Structure 1
Amino acid sequence: MQFRKSVAIIGAVLALPLASHAVPAMAQASLAMLNSLETGAWDLRFRDGSSVRKICVRTGREFIQLRHKQSGCNRYVVEDGKSEVTVQYTCPGDGYGRTNIRKESGSLVQIDSQGIADGRPFQFSAEARRTGSCN
Protein backbone atom coordinates (compact mmCIF):
# COMPACT_ATOMS: atom_id res chain seq x y z
CA MET A 1 0.00 0.00 0.00
CA GLN A 2 2.81 2.40 0.84
CA PHE A 3 4.38 1.66 -2.56
CA ARG A 4 1.16 2.62 -4.40
CA LYS A 5 0.96 5.93 -2.49
CA SER A 6 4.57 6.70 -3.38
CA VAL A 7 3.98 5.94 -7.05
CA ALA A 8 0.84 8.12 -7.06
CA ILE A 9 2.69 11.02 -5.41
CA ILE A 10 5.66 10.75 -7.78
CA GLY A 11 3.28 10.63 -10.77
CA ALA A 12 1.44 13.71 -9.56
CA VAL A 13 4.68 15.63 -9.00
CA LEU A 14 5.98 14.70 -12.45
CA ALA A 15 2.72 15.81 -14.07
CA LEU A 16 2.83 19.31 -12.51
CA PRO A 17 5.30 20.79 -15.01
CA LEU A 18 3.22 19.44 -17.89
CA ALA A 19 0.02 20.89 -16.47
CA SER A 20 1.61 24.29 -15.84
CA HIS A 21 2.72 24.46 -19.47
CA ALA A 22 -0.59 23.28 -20.89
CA VAL A 23 -2.65 26.11 -19.42
CA PRO A 24 -0.57 29.02 -20.84
CA ALA A 25 -0.42 27.34 -24.25
CA MET A 26 -4.20 27.22 -24.43
CA ALA A 27 -4.53 30.78 -23.13
CA GLN A 28 -1.99 32.02 -25.67
CA ALA A 29 -4.20 31.10 -28.58
CA SER A 30 -7.21 33.17 -27.50
CA LEU A 31 -6.16 36.77 -28.32
CA ALA A 32 -9.51 37.80 -26.83
CA MET A 33 -8.62 41.49 -26.92
CA LEU A 34 -8.52 41.43 -30.73
CA ASN A 35 -11.95 39.77 -30.77
CA SER A 36 -13.32 42.72 -28.78
CA LEU A 37 -12.43 45.28 -31.46
CA GLU A 38 -15.21 46.67 -33.63
CA THR A 39 -15.35 45.21 -37.12
CA GLY A 40 -15.45 47.36 -40.22
CA ALA A 41 -13.25 49.85 -42.07
CA TRP A 42 -10.22 51.20 -40.21
CA ASP A 43 -7.65 53.88 -41.09
CA LEU A 44 -4.00 53.25 -40.23
CA ARG A 45 -2.06 56.46 -39.61
CA PHE A 46 1.68 55.85 -39.48
CA ARG A 47 3.71 58.06 -37.18
CA ASP A 48 6.42 58.55 -39.83
CA GLY A 49 3.99 60.51 -42.01
CA SER A 50 3.40 57.75 -44.60
CA SER A 51 0.08 57.89 -46.37
CA VAL A 52 -3.01 56.63 -44.57
CA ARG A 53 -3.80 52.98 -45.25
CA LYS A 54 -7.34 51.64 -45.15
CA ILE A 55 -8.09 48.07 -44.10
CA CYS A 56 -11.21 46.04 -43.47
CA VAL A 57 -11.14 44.42 -40.03
CA ARG A 58 -13.14 41.26 -39.49
CA THR A 59 -11.35 39.66 -36.52
CA GLY A 60 -8.73 42.14 -35.31
CA ARG A 61 -5.99 39.72 -36.33
CA GLU A 62 -5.49 41.77 -39.50
CA PHE A 63 -3.33 44.12 -37.41
CA ILE A 64 -0.77 41.42 -36.57
CA GLN A 65 0.88 41.04 -40.00
CA LEU A 66 0.55 44.41 -41.69
CA ARG A 67 3.80 43.93 -43.66
CA HIS A 68 3.27 40.23 -44.44
CA LYS A 69 0.09 39.60 -46.42
CA GLN A 70 0.42 35.86 -46.92
CA SER A 71 -1.26 33.21 -44.82
CA GLY A 72 0.65 30.25 -43.44
CA CYS A 73 2.91 32.25 -41.15
CA ASN A 74 3.70 30.66 -37.80
CA ARG A 75 2.61 32.75 -34.84
CA TYR A 76 3.72 32.72 -31.22
CA VAL A 77 1.74 34.76 -28.72
CA VAL A 78 4.15 36.57 -26.39
CA GLU A 79 1.53 38.55 -24.45
CA ASP A 80 -2.23 38.04 -24.36
CA GLY A 81 -3.62 40.69 -22.04
CA LYS A 82 -6.97 42.35 -21.58
CA SER A 83 -5.89 45.53 -23.37
CA GLU A 84 -2.61 44.55 -25.05
CA VAL A 85 -1.27 41.70 -27.16
CA THR A 86 2.15 40.96 -28.58
CA VAL A 87 2.60 38.37 -31.32
CA GLN A 88 5.82 37.17 -32.91
CA TYR A 89 5.52 35.47 -36.30
CA THR A 90 7.65 33.86 -39.00
CA CYS A 91 6.66 33.64 -42.66
CA PRO A 92 8.73 30.97 -44.43
CA GLY A 93 10.62 32.54 -47.33
CA ASP A 94 9.48 36.09 -46.53
CA GLY A 95 10.82 37.06 -43.12
CA TYR A 96 9.34 37.62 -39.70
CA GLY A 97 7.89 40.21 -37.39
CA ARG A 98 6.86 41.11 -33.89
CA THR A 99 3.76 43.23 -33.36
CA ASN A 100 2.40 44.86 -30.23
CA ILE A 101 -1.22 46.07 -30.29
CA ARG A 102 -2.58 48.19 -27.46
CA LYS A 103 -6.33 48.78 -27.24
CA GLU A 104 -7.51 52.23 -26.17
CA SER A 105 -11.13 51.49 -27.08
CA GLY A 106 -13.06 49.12 -29.31
CA SER A 107 -12.45 51.51 -32.20
CA LEU A 108 -8.92 52.79 -31.47
CA VAL A 109 -5.62 50.88 -31.15
CA GLN A 110 -1.91 51.69 -31.10
CA ILE A 111 0.39 49.40 -33.10
CA ASP A 112 4.16 48.93 -32.96
CA SER A 113 5.76 46.42 -35.29
CA GLN A 114 9.23 45.48 -36.50
CA GLY A 115 10.89 42.69 -38.42
CA ILE A 116 12.11 41.68 -41.87
CA ALA A 117 9.91 41.71 -45.01
CA ASP A 118 11.13 41.15 -48.58
CA GLY A 119 14.69 40.94 -47.26
CA ARG A 120 14.53 44.40 -45.70
CA PRO A 121 14.12 45.47 -42.09
CA PHE A 122 11.02 47.42 -41.12
CA GLN A 123 9.83 49.21 -38.02
CA PHE A 124 6.75 51.35 -37.59
CA SER A 125 4.33 52.83 -35.10
CA ALA A 126 0.76 53.54 -36.10
CA GLU A 127 -2.62 54.45 -34.79
CA ALA A 128 -5.64 52.58 -36.16
CA ARG A 129 -9.12 54.01 -35.88
CA ARG A 130 -12.44 52.58 -37.04
CA THR A 131 -14.08 54.77 -39.66
CA GLY A 132 -17.22 52.88 -40.70
CA SER A 133 -18.36 49.80 -42.57
CA CYS A 134 -16.28 47.88 -45.10
CA ASN A 135 -17.33 48.51 -48.70
Structure 2
Amino acid sequence: MQTLSCSTVALRAGIVLAGLAMATAPVAAQAPEIGMFNTLKKGGWLLRIRDDGSERRICVRDGREFIQLRHQQPGCSQFVVKDEPREVVVQYTCRGNGYGRTSIRREGPALVQIQTQGIANGVPFSFGGEARHTGAC
Protein backbone atom coordinates (compact mmCIF):
# COMPACT_ATOMS: atom_id res chain seq x y z
CA MET A 1 0.00 0.00 0.00
CA GLN A 2 1.32 3.43 -0.99
CA THR A 3 1.55 6.18 1.61
CA LEU A 4 0.87 9.69 0.33
CA SER A 5 2.20 12.83 1.93
CA CYS A 6 -0.12 15.70 2.81
CA SER A 7 1.36 17.83 0.02
CA THR A 8 0.67 15.09 -2.58
CA VAL A 9 -2.94 14.75 -1.41
CA ALA A 10 -3.38 18.54 -1.49
CA LEU A 11 -1.88 18.72 -4.98
CA ARG A 12 -4.19 16.01 -6.30
CA ALA A 13 -7.21 17.66 -4.68
CA GLY A 14 -6.21 20.98 -6.26
CA ILE A 15 -5.95 19.39 -9.70
CA VAL A 16 -9.38 17.77 -9.32
CA LEU A 17 -10.94 21.06 -8.17
CA ALA A 18 -9.32 22.97 -11.04
CA GLY A 19 -10.71 20.42 -13.50
CA LEU A 20 -14.18 20.75 -12.01
CA ALA A 21 -14.00 24.54 -12.17
CA MET A 22 -13.06 24.41 -15.85
CA ALA A 23 -15.84 21.93 -16.60
CA THR A 24 -18.49 24.13 -14.97
CA ALA A 25 -17.19 27.52 -16.15
CA PRO A 26 -19.60 29.45 -18.37
CA VAL A 27 -18.85 29.17 -22.05
CA ALA A 28 -19.67 31.85 -24.60
CA ALA A 29 -23.11 30.90 -25.86
CA GLN A 30 -23.40 30.05 -29.52
CA ALA A 31 -26.83 30.13 -31.06
CA PRO A 32 -27.97 26.57 -31.64
CA GLU A 33 -28.82 25.57 -35.21
CA ILE A 34 -32.57 25.41 -35.81
CA GLY A 35 -33.39 23.43 -38.94
CA MET A 36 -36.85 24.91 -39.59
CA PHE A 37 -35.36 28.37 -40.14
CA ASN A 38 -33.46 27.06 -43.18
CA THR A 39 -36.82 26.38 -44.88
CA LEU A 40 -38.19 29.93 -44.45
CA LYS A 41 -37.88 32.62 -47.12
CA LYS A 42 -35.39 35.35 -46.33
CA GLY A 43 -36.26 39.02 -46.72
CA GLY A 44 -39.15 41.20 -45.63
CA TRP A 45 -41.95 39.81 -43.46
CA LEU A 46 -45.08 41.45 -42.05
CA LEU A 47 -46.10 40.39 -38.55
CA ARG A 48 -49.76 40.97 -37.64
CA ILE A 49 -50.59 40.80 -33.94
CA ARG A 50 -53.95 39.09 -33.38
CA ASP A 51 -54.96 40.88 -30.15
CA ASP A 52 -54.82 44.47 -31.35
CA GLY A 53 -54.36 44.21 -35.12
CA SER A 54 -51.05 46.06 -35.04
CA GLU A 55 -48.43 45.31 -37.69
CA ARG A 56 -44.66 45.22 -37.63
CA ARG A 57 -42.21 44.78 -40.49
CA ILE A 58 -39.28 42.45 -39.89
CA CYS A 59 -36.23 41.88 -42.10
CA VAL A 60 -35.44 38.17 -41.77
CA ARG A 61 -31.86 37.08 -42.38
CA ASP A 62 -31.92 33.67 -40.69
CA GLY A 63 -35.29 33.27 -38.92
CA ARG A 64 -34.01 34.06 -35.43
CA GLU A 65 -35.61 37.49 -35.71
CA PHE A 66 -38.92 35.82 -34.77
CA ILE A 67 -37.66 34.50 -31.41
CA GLN A 68 -37.15 37.67 -29.35
CA LEU A 69 -39.89 40.01 -30.53
CA ARG A 70 -40.01 41.93 -27.22
CA HIS A 71 -36.31 41.69 -26.39
CA GLN A 72 -34.32 43.28 -29.20
CA GLN A 73 -30.94 43.41 -27.45
CA PRO A 74 -28.20 40.95 -28.39
CA GLY A 75 -26.54 38.63 -25.89
CA CYS A 76 -29.62 36.88 -24.52
CA SER A 77 -29.15 33.19 -23.74
CA GLN A 78 -31.42 30.83 -25.64
CA PHE A 79 -32.50 27.26 -24.98
CA VAL A 80 -34.23 25.28 -27.72
CA VAL A 81 -37.11 23.39 -26.09
CA LYS A 82 -38.49 21.89 -29.30
CA ASP A 83 -36.94 21.70 -32.76
CA GLU A 84 -39.13 19.93 -35.30
CA PRO A 85 -39.57 20.49 -39.06
CA ARG A 86 -42.82 22.43 -38.58
CA GLU A 87 -42.51 23.84 -35.04
CA VAL A 88 -39.83 25.43 -32.90
CA VAL A 89 -40.07 26.46 -29.25
CA VAL A 90 -37.29 28.58 -27.75
CA GLN A 91 -36.95 29.86 -24.21
CA TYR A 92 -34.58 32.78 -23.65
CA THR A 93 -33.25 34.97 -20.85
CA CYS A 94 -31.98 38.53 -21.24
CA ARG A 95 -30.00 39.47 -18.13
CA GLY A 96 -31.48 42.51 -16.46
CA ASN A 97 -34.36 42.75 -18.93
CA GLY A 98 -36.49 39.64 -18.45
CA TYR A 99 -37.16 36.48 -20.38
CA GLY A 100 -39.54 34.88 -22.84
CA ARG A 101 -40.75 31.71 -24.49
CA THR A 102 -41.66 31.75 -28.17
CA SER A 103 -43.37 29.10 -30.27
CA ILE A 104 -43.07 29.38 -34.06
CA ARG A 105 -45.18 27.10 -36.25
CA ARG A 106 -44.35 26.89 -39.96
CA GLU A 107 -47.32 26.69 -42.30
CA GLY A 108 -45.18 27.19 -45.39
CA PRO A 109 -41.92 28.84 -46.47
CA ALA A 110 -43.67 32.24 -46.45
CA LEU A 111 -46.12 31.88 -43.51
CA VAL A 112 -45.58 31.26 -39.78
CA GLN A 113 -47.74 31.45 -36.66
CA ILE A 114 -46.06 32.91 -33.58
CA GLN A 115 -47.02 32.76 -29.91
CA THR A 116 -44.79 34.43 -27.33
CA GLN A 117 -44.95 35.33 -23.66
CA GLY A 118 -42.63 36.44 -20.89
CA ILE A 119 -41.45 39.46 -18.91
CA ALA A 120 -39.89 42.57 -20.49
CA ASN A 121 -38.73 45.51 -18.35
CA GLY A 122 -40.57 44.02 -15.37
CA VAL A 123 -43.92 43.85 -17.20
CA PRO A 124 -45.55 40.60 -18.39
CA PHE A 125 -46.44 40.20 -22.07
CA SER A 126 -48.27 37.60 -24.12
CA PHE A 127 -49.37 37.80 -27.73
CA GLY A 128 -49.88 35.77 -30.84
CA GLY A 129 -49.52 36.71 -34.45
CA GLU A 130 -49.08 35.65 -38.03
CA ALA A 131 -46.07 36.56 -40.14
CA ARG A 132 -46.08 36.53 -43.96
CA HIS A 133 -43.21 36.99 -46.36
CA THR A 134 -43.62 40.21 -48.35
CA GLY A 135 -40.52 40.30 -50.55
CA ALA A 136 -37.18 42.03 -50.18
CA CYS A 137 -36.22 43.97 -47.05
Specify if TM > 0.5: yes
Unaligned stretches of 5+ in structure 2?
Answer: 1-30
Q: Following the alignment from structure 2 to structure 1, what is the Cα–Cα distance between the partners of residues 71 and 109?
A: 24
Q: Following the alignment from structure 1 to structure 2, what is the Cα–Cα distance between the partners of residues 45 and 70?
A: 22
Are 1:116 and 2:119 an aligned pair? yes
After TM superposition, give the deviation of residue 51 of structure 1 in Å. 1.7
Unaligned stretches of 5+ in structure 1?
Answer: 1-27
Structure 1 residue ranges (4+ consecutive) displaced by more than 3 angstroms after TM superposition: none
Partner of 2:131: 128
Q: Following the alignment from structure 1 to structure 2, what is the Cα–Cα distance between the partners of residues 87 and 51?
A: 23
Are 1:62 and 2:35 an aligned pair? no
Identity %: 60
- Cα deviation per residue 1:37-71 (whole Å; 9 max; x = unaligned)? 10011000000124210010010000000000001
Partner of 1:80: 83
After TM superposition, give the deviation of residue 36 of structure 1 in Å. 1.3
After TM superposition, give the deviation of residue 79 of structure 1 in Å. 0.1
- Cα deviation per residue 1:73-117 (whole Å; 9 max; x = unaligned)? 000000000110000000000000000000000000000000000
Q: Following the alignment from structure 2 to structure 1, what is the Cα–Cα distance between the partners of residues 115 and 84?
A: 16
Q: Following the alignment from structure 1 to structure 2, what is the Cα–Cα distance between the partners of residues 35 and 43?
A: 19
Partner of 2:47: 44
SS at match of 2:75: coil
- CA-based RMSD of the aligned residues comes to 1.1
Instruction: Calculate the TM-score normalised by the size of structure 1.
Output: 0.77
Which structure: greater helix fraction?
1
Q: Which amino acid aligns with 2:78?
A: R
Are 1:101 and 2:104 an aligned pair? yes
Q: Which amino acid aligns with 1:74?
A: S
